[in-house]
């Protein structure tokens, strides 16, 4: 027994000696740098970086073949630790997140054939492009799910991948695994700078929206009770949903395909529901912003265009400062829209959310008086946006405009917005047919006028005002006198006593597409009144250009607007941009919001040393939208459109309390079920070329 033990011990000793010698002979030195880098990595061996494990990644980093921030699973902390080991500077890298573009359920997509092969999207696509008739949609076999090392992707109930942003690290494995490119990496910058393009799957409402909001997505989020997600989706392209939910003319609803069957989806009031939810919840749902780079940009004008431009530049990391001539921000949103449509407290809450992103505001500062383009440049502003709006009213150009009792419409609304005393007589005539005219008429009724008449030279059909504003004015007892135009204002001792008008008839269409009004000779009539308010158009006041030597060379159009590229906001002076009503003339808030975002994109490109050119192939409206050529023949089940609850007419008299009360949660959820979730190409003929896709308006949506 002892002998055997000694023998085993001897063998062990000999083996140890042999291994010791072998270790000396065959020793491989471990690079201490590689060892230190591997120690800084999390050791998860997830493969998200593209290497087999952390040891391979450490070897690549130490060898200069991979950057110090290659570890997508560890996050910024690991990048800092690895950078410290490598002795390099940490540069912030904007996080990517996966985004799924396909919205057409794989469970109901028409099939070309039944596929029973290897359950991998790439394998399936090798056979005739995949089993689905849609050549560009999701195959649905979950290759992206298997490729994700972090469990951030799951297949949803409709057979489409669903990304959890909290788990997604932006490694890009899913993007590489998808043969149809329906899942891809995106980022805040790419989303802010990107605009709807002709090749995107766009619903007609989304293609029509001047702000390019992803309308189907936020409607779907509201329907699923994900109200915070809905707010986030809206604010991706529109920082003023509380405002737009109240005053937007919603051209999106004009293109809603549900309207081909019964009535359009109440898109705008659903937007307001989501925005009201955020405000009433007491917490702000703020977007992700890039780290501050301290580069200064100046925004001249605190209206919707300026606020939007500042919002997106702040999200991109810049330090925007808004210069506003009025005491408070908001522009015509504050001073031109009455409180019964847009309460000041609501506007203040929305603006405060923009300021909290790092936007500075300097109010009571007028360009040409308190500062100039040159002084802004001397203060270190590298780019300047001019969004001064349209504050001057067009005159009627008739005799008697100087009589006491004649008021420009915008002046009256601005005085009311500044809480100044704005007395009116018992009989008031409003000249014009736009939203400003409706605001003036309804405001005068609330101020105590007994008889308010809107005089318009065309018929109601040609009125540019929102249909709902005309309808509400009628409810409040406003009179309308169509096919009539003022010819003279009559007065006594300098005070207005009446208005002479001439009857009109409609002739051929003019440049606006509306039939041109033609006077009927000898039909002049006197209408007795105490006040005449002219609301026939507005234009920018560009007098500040004459007082600013650096701005005198700024190109101006014959319509007294700044001559700028409407797609990018660029002017003839490098580094100076403009947008909104200042460029287009009086338009809508949502159009100004779209212009502000386009200008922010161009300013970012300019500050990055690139040409601030417009994006190619971006969708400017429904006419450019590529869509399906066939639709299901069955009309959707009938369900009435949600009607906005309102104050009664008796409750509105002598009061500027908000008229529209907002949809209830039950109403909003029910309304989302009316949405058809359009924007799919899956019904097109497979032999039809892409360029031939076009709308075919059918009786059934």
- Dump pLDDT digits (tens) for 643-654: 999 999 999 998
How confident is residue 180, by pLDDT bands cut at 50, 70 and 90? confident
* pLDDT value, residue 688: 36
Higher-confidence residue: 66 or 474?
A: 474
Model confidence at 617: pLDDT above 80: no
> Is the Cβ–Cβ distance between 406 and 532 less than 8 Å?
yes
Architecture of domain 296-391+548-607: 3-Layer(bba) Sandwich (3.50)
User: Picking from 275-284, 392-401, 578-587, 610-619, which range would have the lowest pLDDT averaged per residue?
Assistant: 610-619
Average pLDDT, the chain: 86
How confident is residue 530, by pLDDT bands cut at 50, 70 and 90? very high
Instruction: Express each pLDDT in 32-68 by its tens digit.
Output: 777 787 787 877 777 777 787 788 877 888 777 788 8
d(CA 570, CA 255): 30
Ligand-binding annotation for 46, yes or no, is: yes
Instruction: Express each pLDDT in 626-640 by its tens digit.
Output: 444 455 554 566 788
Nearest to 54 by CA among 32, 69, 71: 71
* 3-state helix/strand/coil string of 517-547: EEECCCCCEEEECCEEEECCCEECCCHHHCC
Helix/strand/coil for 42:
coil
**178-182 mean pLDDT:** 89
The whole-model pTM stands at 0.84
d(CA 678, CA 661): 29
| 3-state helix, strand and coil shares in percent for the chain, rounded to the nearest 5 | 35, 15, 50
**185-199 mean pLDDT:** 80
Ligand-binding annotation for 178, yes or no, is: yes
Architecture of domain 97-186: 2-Layer Sandwich (3.30)
Which range, 460-469, 507-516, 689-698, is most confident?
460-469
Instruction: Express each pLDDT in 314-373 by its tens digit.
Output: 999 999 999 999 999 999 999 999 999 999 999 999 999 999 999 999 999 999 899 999
Ligand-binding annotation for 171, yes or no, is: yes
The CA distances from residue 610 to 289, 310, 446, in Å, are: 21, 20, 52
Ligand-binding annotation for 201, yes or no, is: no
Ligand-binding annotation for 144, yes or no, is: yes
* pLDDT value, residue 260: 82
**Please, is 7 exposed, middle or buried when counting C-beta atoms within 10 Å of its C-beta (0-12, 13-18, 19+)?**
exposed
Q: How far apart, in Å, do the first and last CA atoms of the chain sit? A: 95
The two tokens of residue 551 are: 């701005």
Does 392-539 match 296-391+548-607 at the fold level? yes
How confident is residue 692, by pLDDT bands cut at 50, 70 and 90? very low
**550-571 mean pLDDT:** 92
* pLDDT value, residue 131: 87
Instruction: Express each pLDDT in 119-134 by its tens digit.
Output: 999 998 988 888 888 7
User: Picking from 21-35, 306-320, 522-536, 551-565, which range would have the lowest pLDDT averaged per residue?
Assistant: 21-35
How confident is residue 682, by pLDDT bands cut at 50, 70 and 90? very low
Instruction: Express each pLDDT in 223-255 by its tens digit.
Output: 999 999 999 999 999 999 999 999 999 999 999
The two tokens of residue 159 are: 């057979």
**458-474 mean pLDDT:** 93
User: Picking from 179-193, 395-409, 581-595, which range would have the lowest pLDDT averaged per residue?
Assistant: 179-193
Ligand-binding annotation for 252, yes or no, is: no
**612-633 mean pLDDT:** 64
Ligand-binding annotation for 148, yes or no, is: yes
- Which one is the CATH code of 392-539: 3.40.1230.10, 3.60.10.10, 3.50.50.60, 3.30.1490.100? 3.50.50.60
* pLDDT value, residue 449: 95
Helix/strand/coil for 103:
coil
Helix/strand/coil for 191:
helix
**Please, is 406 exposed, middle or buried when counting C-beta atoms within 10 Å of its C-beta (0-12, 13-18, 19+)?**
buried
d(CA 54, CA 100): 29
- Which one is the CATH code of 31-93: 1.10.287.3240, 3.40.1190.20, 3.40.309.10, 1.10.15.40? 1.10.15.40
Ligand-binding annotation for 54, yes or no, is: yes
Would you kindly state where each structural domain of the chain is located, as residue ranges? 1-30, 31-93, 97-186, 204-284+621-687, 296-391+548-607, 392-539
- Which one is the CATH code of 204-284+621-687: 1.10.10, 3.80.10, 1.10.1060, 1.20.58? 1.10.1060
Rg of the chain on CA atoms, in Å: 32
Q: Percent of the chain having pLDDT more than 70?
A: 90
Instruction: Express each pLDDT in 293-315 by its tens digit.
Output: 889 999 999 999 999 999 999 99
């Amino acid at each position: 027994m002892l002998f055997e033990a000694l023998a085993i011990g001897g063998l062990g000793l000999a083996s140890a000696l042999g291994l010791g010698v072998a270790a000396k002979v065959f020793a491989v030195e471990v690079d201490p740098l590689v060892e230190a880098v591997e120690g800084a990595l999390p050791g998860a061996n997830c493969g998200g970086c593209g290497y087999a494990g952390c040891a391979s990644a450490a070897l690549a980093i130490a060898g200069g073949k991979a950057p110090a921030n290659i570890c997508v699973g560890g996050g910024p902390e690991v990048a800092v630790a690895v950078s410290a080991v490598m002795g390099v500077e940490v540069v912030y890298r904007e996080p990517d997140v996966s985004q799924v573009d396909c919205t057409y359920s794989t469970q109901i997509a028409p099939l070309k054939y039944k596929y029973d092969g290897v359950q991998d999207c790439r394998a399936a696509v090798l056979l005739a492009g995949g089993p689905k008739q849609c050549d560009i949609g999701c195959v649905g076999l979950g290759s992206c799910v298997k490729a994700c090392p972090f469990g951030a992707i799951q297949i949803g109930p409709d057979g489409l991948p669903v990304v959890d942003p909290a788990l997604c690290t932006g490694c890009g494995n899913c993007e590489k695994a998808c043969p149809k490119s329906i899942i891809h990496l995106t980022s805040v910058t790419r989303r802010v700078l990107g605009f709807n393009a002709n090749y995107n799957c766009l619903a007609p409402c989304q293609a029509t929206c001047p702000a390019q909001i992803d309308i189907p997505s936020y409607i779907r989020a509201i329907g699923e009770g994900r109200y915070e997600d809905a707010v986030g989706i809206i604010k991706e392209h529109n920082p003023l949903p509380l405002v737009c939910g109240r005053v937007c003319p919603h051209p999106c609803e004009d293109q809603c395909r549900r309207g081909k069957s019964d009535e359009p989806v109440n898109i705008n009031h659903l937007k307001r529901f989501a925005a009201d939810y955020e405000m009433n919840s007491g917490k702000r749902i703020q977007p992700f912003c890039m780290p501050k780079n301290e580069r200064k940009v100046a925004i001249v004008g605190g209206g919707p265009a300026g606020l939007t431009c500042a919002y997106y530049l702040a999200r991109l990391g810049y330090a925007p400062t808004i210069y506003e001539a009025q005491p408070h921000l908001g522009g015509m949103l504050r001073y031109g829209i009455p409180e019964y449509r847009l309460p000041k407290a609501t506007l203040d809450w929305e603006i405060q959310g923009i300021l909290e992103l790092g936007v500075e505001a300097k109010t009571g500062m007028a360009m040409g008086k308190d500062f100039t383009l040159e002084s802004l440049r001397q203060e270190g502003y590298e780019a300047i946006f001019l969004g001064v709006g349209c504050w001057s009213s067009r005159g009627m150009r008739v005799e008697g405009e100087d009589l006491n009792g004649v008021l420009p419409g915008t002046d009256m609304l601005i005085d009311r917005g500044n809480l100044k005393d704005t007395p009116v007589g018992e009989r008031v005539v409003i000249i014009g047919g736009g939203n400003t005219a409706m605001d003036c008429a309804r405001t005068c009724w609330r101020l105590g006028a007994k008889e308010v008449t809107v005089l318009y030279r065309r018929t109601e059909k040609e009125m540019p005002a929102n249909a709902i504003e005309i309808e509400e004015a009628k409810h409040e007892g406003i009179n309308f006198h169509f096919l009539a135009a003022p010819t003279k204002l009559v007065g006594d001792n300098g005070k207005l006593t009446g208005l002479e008008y001439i009857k009109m008839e409609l002739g051929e269409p003019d440049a606006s597409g509306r039939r041109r009004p033609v006077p009927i000779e000898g039909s002049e009539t006197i209408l007795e009144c105490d006040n005449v308010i002219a609301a026939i158009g507005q234009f920018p006041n560009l007098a500040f250009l004459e007082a600013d030597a650096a701005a005198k060379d700024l190109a101006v159009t014959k319509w007294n607007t700044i001559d700028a590229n409407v797609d990018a906001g660029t002017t003839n002076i490098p580094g100076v941009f403009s947008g909104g009503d200042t460029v287009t003339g009086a338009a809508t808030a949502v159009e100004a919001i779209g212009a502000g975002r386009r200008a922010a994109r161009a300013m970012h490109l300019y500050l990055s040393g690139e040409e601030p050119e417009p994006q190619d192939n971006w969708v400017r409206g429904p006419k450019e939208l590529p869509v399906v050529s066939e639709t299901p023949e069955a009309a959707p089940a009938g369900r009435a459109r949600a009607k906005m609850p309102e104050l009664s007419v008796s409750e509105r008299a002598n009061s500027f309390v908000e008229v529209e009360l907002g949809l209830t949660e039950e109403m909003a959820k029910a309304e989302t079920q009316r949405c058809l979730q359009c924007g799919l190409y899956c019904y097109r003929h497979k032999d039809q070329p892409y360029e031939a896709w076009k709308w075919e308006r059918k009786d059934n949506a």
